[in-house]
Amino acid sequence: MIRILLIVSLLFSLPGIAQPTPPGEVQASLNRYLWDAARNGDNKVIGEFVAARYDLNVQDANGYTPVILAAYHGNGDTLALLLKHGADPCLRDKRGNSALMGAIFKGEVKIARTLIAAPCNPDQRNNAGQTAAMYASLFQRTELLKALAAKGADMQATDALGNSVASLGQGEIRGR
């Protein structure tokens, strides 16, 4: 499908064949195919992007990358494929949330473990100052909280409202 889109866009760009397709439209279409493939776990399409050496870190309007989308939607095999081919697991969306935070939120424990093992700072903060450990504590993901602590995550961190890992784990949430 992607190869067909590329060939068609090239043909339409040749003088005298047809009206040229603006490069921005082709890029936007390819990006949508990539994001949809990550969201839906379509590894065959992801493989086409890998073979074409496409940018696997391209972000949509919300800042979501294929890694973030695969993690959030529970597509562990797709996440593994993306990571194997160099996609960055440490990128964050426009709210500052990482793929790890999304996986913790959704309860995707296996995916979260994969992302904890990635070479990212375990204390990355989102725009509200929250960390993955805070998410794990808030959503009672005890085994992930232990894994984050073992990786060196700051268990004393507080967010912009004064919420801490410990207080969130006890259901005490400031600022709601």
Q: Residue 168 sits in a domain of what CATH number?
A: 1.25.40.20
Same domain, 68 and 143: no
pLDDT confidence bin for 10, thresholds 50/70/90: very low
Question: How far is 36 from 152, CA to CA, in rounded Å?
Answer: 34
For residue 151, the enclosing domain spans: 123-176
Conformational region of residue 164, where left means phi above 0, alpha means psi within -120 to 50, and beta covers everything else: beta
3-state helix, strand, coil in the chain (%, to 5): 55, 0, 45
175, 161 contact by CB (below 8 A): yes
Last residue of a domain, one of 77, 94, 120: 120
Mean pLDDT throughout 5-23?
53
CB 48 within 8 A of CB 1: yes
**Together in a domain, 25 and 57:** yes
pTM > 0.75: yes or no:
yes
Please give the average per-residue pLDDT across 60-87, as a whole number. 98
Same domain, 108 and 52: yes
R_g of the chain, CA atoms, integer Å: 19
Quick one: 18 and 99 in the same domain?
yes
Q: Is 54 helix (H, G, I), strand (E, B) or coil?
A: coil
Residues 89, 39 share a domain = yes
If asked whether residues 67 and 96 sit together in one domain, one would say: yes
Give yes or no: residues 27 and 99 share one domain. Answer: yes
pLDDT at 19 over 80: no
Indicate whether 96 and 33 sit together in one domain.
yes
What's the domain count of the chain? Answer: 2
